[in-house]
Structures are given as C-alpha cells and as structure tokens.
Amino acid sequence: MGAARDWRRAGAILGIVGVLIVVPAVLTALVPTRETPVTRGTTIRLTAPGRTPDTIEFSGVDGWQQRPTGDRTTAVLDGPNGRILLVSVVNGVTDFDAAAQWRRKVLGAQAFPVREDGGKVANTYGFTGPTCRGETRAGVCAILGNHNLAVSMLLSGTDIDADLQPIVYTLRVTS
C-alpha cells in the first residue's frame, strides 16, 4: 500500500514539473515577438562601449519592423519581401583586416556562413570595407570600418537582388 502511494506522489510531482516546463514554452511560442515600426526618417543608433568614438547610426529602413535584442551593439529588423537586416558594431579595432575576417565568422554563427565576394563598398562618412555573400542562403553583407569601429551588416531573405548600399550610405559615426 505504501509503494502505491509513493508512485502516485511521484507521478503527481512529475506531472507538476512537466506543466511548469511545457506551459511557459507553449505560451512563448504563441506570443508574437514585439516589434517596433521604424517611421520615416528614423535613425537606428548602436553603441559599443570602449574607446571614443563608440556610437554609430544608420537609416534607410523606413517602414521596417525593429525587433528587441536587449543588446545596444546589435539591431535586427524585418523588412519587405521577407528580408532580415542584422547590424552589429564592435569597438577597439586596431587591425581591420583581422576584424573583418572575424566578423564574417561571427555572421556565420549568428545567421549563416558568408564568404567575401571581392567587392568593396564605402560611403561619404568614412566607412569602407569588403562585401560578402551568403554561402548557403540568399544574402548580402558588408564589413565596414571607421576609426576604431567595425560594423557588420547582413541583409538576408527571399529576394536575391537585395541591396545593402542604400543602408550602407547612411552609416555614420555619431560620437
């Protein structure tokens, strides 16, 4: 009789633990990600603590939806045609070529593997660097340097003709 009671108690405890694990997971799956619409003329600002300058901003994403990241160094935006834009800034760069190679590896971990495609891009605000493409998925990217900062930009999605240049041209250091 005591063994049957122990099995019932163990079953009840196991059931409670299962509910505590399953219910939050189901609720998380059902609740949509809170996104903020990017209104016309809005700039997105990212800060990588360290040496000055440490802050960059960009625009060109009017009408997109910005996802919360909880990270001041990274922005993720959902755009038209299933596009996703991932922008990250790092500080303390002294060897840009090594930083660009490292940032391509980071993009591979954050999204999907990318390879340098031999292109270069620059803007009037002093950012310059190599361009790259997705190896296993449609996407274009650029790793840009200015002062002690390196910025990686990855635009992915279903549209193979996606163009990062309008966004790259707005990228600038703000502090």
Least confident of 34-48, 133-147, 152-166: 152-166
- Does position 33 have pLDDT exceeding 90, yes or no? no
What is the pLDDT at residue 6?
A: 72
- Does position 28 have pLDDT exceeding 60, yes or no? no
Q: What's the whole-number mean pLDDT along residues 129-142?
A: 93
- Percentage of residues in the chain having pLDDT higher than 70: 82
Phi-psi region of 82 (alpha: psi -120 to 50; beta: other; left: phi over 0): left
Q: What are phi and psi of 27, to 5 degrees?
A: -65, -40
- Does position 75 have pLDDT exceeding 60, yes or no? yes
What H or E segment, with its residue span, contains residue 139? strand 139-146
Q: Which residue has the higher pLDDT, 12 or 29?
A: 12
What is the pLDDT at residue 24?
A: 59
Task: State pLDDT tens for residues 91-107.
Answer: 999 999 999 999 999 99
- Does position 64 have pLDDT exceeding 60, yes or no? yes
What is the pLDDT at residue 55?
A: 97
Q: How confident is the model at residue 58 (pLDDT cuts 50, 70, 90)?
A: very high
Q: How confident is the model at residue 26 (pLDDT cuts 50, 70, 90)?
A: low
CA 35 to chain centre: 14
- Does position 17 have pLDDT exceeding 70, yes or no? no
Q: What's the whole-number mean pLDDT along residues 40-53?
A: 95
Sheet holding 139-146, edge to edge: 36-37, 65-67, 74-78, 84-91, 149-156, 139-146, 128-134, 114-122
Which of 3.40.50, 1.10.287, 3.40.1000, 3.30.70 would CATH assign to domain 36-173? Answer: 3.40.1000
> What contacts 29, CB < 8 A, 6 or more positions away?
none
